[in-house]
Amino acid sequence: MSFTSSERRELTIVAGCTAVTFAGDFMADTSLVLTLQQHGAAGYAVAALLIAGVAPAVLLAPLAGRLVDRFRTRTLLVTVGAIQALLCVGLAYARQPALIIPLMALVASGLAITGPALGAIVPRAVDRDRLPQAQAAVQTVRGLGILAGPALAGILVGRFGQTVPLLVDAVSFLAVIAAGLLLRTAHGGGPLRRDASTGRVRGGLSLVRADRLLTIALVLIAVGITAVTCDNVGEVYLVRETLHGSSSAYGLLSALWSAAAIAGGWLLGRRAPDDRGVVRLLLVLLGVFGLVMLGLATAPTVSWLIPVYLVGGLANGGLNLAIGVLLGRRVRPDERGRVGATFNAFINSGTLIGYAVGGGLLSVVSPRVLFTGSGLLALTVIAALAVPVLRGLRRAPATITADDPVPAAAAS
């Protein structure tokens, strides 16, 4: 199914912007972690840096969502992109963790706004029937940026130190400004719609809870992200210490996971099921994650990890695409900022919990025990959720036209 010329133009701008900024962000994250390690910073400083990059999306979700739905996309992207570029210039010359960490949090605060803003554009820019392919195209290009960022960081930090990669990241935010100026598809710019019964503007979580299917999807996605992130902490120890693999092997495996995620999103985009089918697929993907963890736990050599990482990456890509498809199909256009920010908050909360739990458990158990426990727990959760999820899906409408309110029958 091909896109119209106007759809292709808008998708090119959104995909190009996200690819450039994600490459810059991952390059900045990698550069700062390497810099802190090289300057002898304690482990808690690195952990604080990672948390600073994630926490704003959780804490600022209610405000960010309202800003995205209230103000025009052009205004937000141009203003926030310019501020982020200036903050990255400051990061380029910061050397002390006490300065680096708050600056990182401020940059991430901007991402809490620009992420939902760009996410709200795609469903408006393309026909509903072409939404899965559109989301897959954006996810594919974004994945290439994610692959490129850490690799460029390693090269640039090795040759030039911290300053150059952070300045490159600052330049990457010019893509956000350019997107704001070039996009013809508008979002926001009007007063927020008030609920007819209460007279109040509904928050993102309230909007999600009004749709049984979205509520189920949010729970499944949060569980999946938490499980994957928990194991991300232990992968480097499994590869390097338990299986005695090289640092190159670890890097290549990480790249394989990311590349497989691109392929997984693309495959689902070509044959995306209806909304109920997408949520059933999420249930299956959670089971796949559980099996992947058990595969990691039992791998006898590094080479055995290759098929495991391949399957895990494919499942990860399907999970990522399912989010965009459901939000585009089932959420009113003027509410996508708030709902998108809510989903981002739960996803990043899962990331924070995964980091904390994974890091804490690794101090008392081996990587194999961590992966075994995580895999068994994931499969147990699937077994517990399967029946109520499938029952809930039968009571939820299979399809909602996002331009219309959620039917009363879908309310929880």
Instruction: Tell me the pLDDT tens digit for each residue of 40-53.
Output: 776 678 778 888 98
| Residue whose C-alpha is closest to residue 179's, from 74, 271, 252 | 74
Residue 195 has pLDDT above 80, yes or no: no
- For residues 200-216, average pLDDT: 86
pLDDT digits (tens, 9 = 90+) for 135-150: 998 988 998 888 888 8
Residue 409 has pLDDT above 70, yes or no: no
- For residues 366-372, average pLDDT: 91
User: What local confidence, expressed as pLDDT, does residue 82 receive?
Assistant: 96
pLDDT digits (tens, 9 = 90+) for 148-158: 888 888 788 87
pLDDT digits (tens, 9 = 90+) for 253-290: 888 988 899 999 888 888 778 888 888 888 899 899 99
pLDDT bin (cut points 50, 70, 90) of residue 176 is very high
CA 113/CA 80 separation, integer angstroms: 8
Average pLDDT, the chain: 86
Lowest mean pLDDT among 76-85, 300-309, 370-379: 370-379
Residue recorded with tokens 């956000």: 176
Residue recorded with tokens 């736990």: 297
CA 304/CA 296 separation, integer angstroms: 9
Spatial contact of 143 and 26, defined as CB atoms under 8 Å apart: no
Residue recorded with tokens 């460029």: 152
User: What local confidence, expressed as pLDDT, does residue 26 receive?
Assistant: 86
User: What local confidence, expressed as pLDDT, does residue 105 receive?
Assistant: 95
User: What local confidence, expressed as pLDDT, does residue 411 receive?
Assistant: 32
- For residues 8-17, average pLDDT: 94
CA 61/CA 339 separation, integer angstroms: 9
User: What local confidence, expressed as pLDDT, does residue 43 receive?
Assistant: 62
pLDDT bin (cut points 50, 70, 90) of residue 410 is very low
User: What local confidence, expressed as pLDDT, does residue 405 receive?
Assistant: 41
User: What local confidence, expressed as pLDDT, does residue 294 receive?
Assistant: 95
pLDDT bin (cut points 50, 70, 90) of residue 404 is very low
Q: How many CB atoms lie within 10 A of CB 78?
A: 17
Residue 408 has pLDDT above 80, yes or no: no
> Is the C-alpha dihedral spanning 333, 337, 339, 344 positive or negative?
positive
pLDDT digits (tens, 9 = 90+) for 218-235: 888 888 888 878 777 788
pLDDT bin (cut points 50, 70, 90) of residue 398 is low
pLDDT bin (cut points 50, 70, 90) of residue 1 is low
User: What local confidence, expressed as pLDDT, does residue 42 receive?
Assistant: 66
Domains in the chain, CATH or no CATH each: 1-189 (1.20.1250.20), 203-412 (1.20.1250.20)
Residue 10 has pLDDT above 90, yes or no: yes
Percent of the chain with pLDDT over 90: 36
Residue 39 has pLDDT above 80, yes or no: no
Residue 31 has pLDDT above 90, yes or no: no
